[in-house]
């Protein structure tokens, strides 16, 4: 699958993927352009499994809609990810 154009955008995403994207957008506005959260936090908010969120995140990343970067604590353990909506070209 190729990257989504801005016109195709949300129309090719499932309703859950659209809701997760909306969650990331909303959290990004509060987090200075990044949404800092775990997949478990997203799953609890969406009332679905973390595995379902993981599949949706993989799709959103592969379509070029979002970017994610792991966040680590001082002892090196991963605390979650920083998500942001990818810049449209």
Residue with the larger pLDDT of the pair 89 and 2: 89
> Taking phi first (over 0 means left), then psi (-120 to 50 degrees means alpha), and beta for anything else, what does residue 49 get?
beta
In contact, 23 and 46? CB cutoff 8 Å: yes
Query: What is the pLDDT, as a whole number, of residue 7?
Result: 44
Q: Which fold has domain 13-85?
A: Arc Repressor Mutant, subunit A (1.10.10)
The mean pLDDT value for 56-80 works out to 94
The DSSP call for residue 10 is G
pLDDT digits 0-9 by tens, 14-46: 999 999 999 999 999 887 899 999 999 999 999
Does residue 9 have a pLDDT over 70? no
Which CA distances in Å does 79 have to 26, 55, 71?
Answer: 20, 19, 6
Query: What is the pLDDT, as a whole number, of residue 63?
Result: 93
pLDDT digits 0-9 by tens, 46-66: 999 999 999 999 999 999 999
């Amino acid at each position: 699958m190729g990257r989504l154009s801005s016109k195709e955008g949300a129309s090719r995403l499932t309703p859950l993927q659209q809701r997760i994207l909306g969650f990331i957008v909303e959290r990004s506005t509060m987090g200075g352009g990044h949404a800092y959260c775990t997949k478990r936090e997203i799953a609890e908010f969406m009332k679905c499994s973390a595995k379902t969120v993981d599949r949706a995140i993989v799709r959103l990343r592969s379509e070029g809609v979002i970017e994610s970067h792991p966040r680590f604590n001082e002892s090196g353990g991963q605390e979650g990810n920083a998500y942001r909506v990818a810049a449209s070209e």
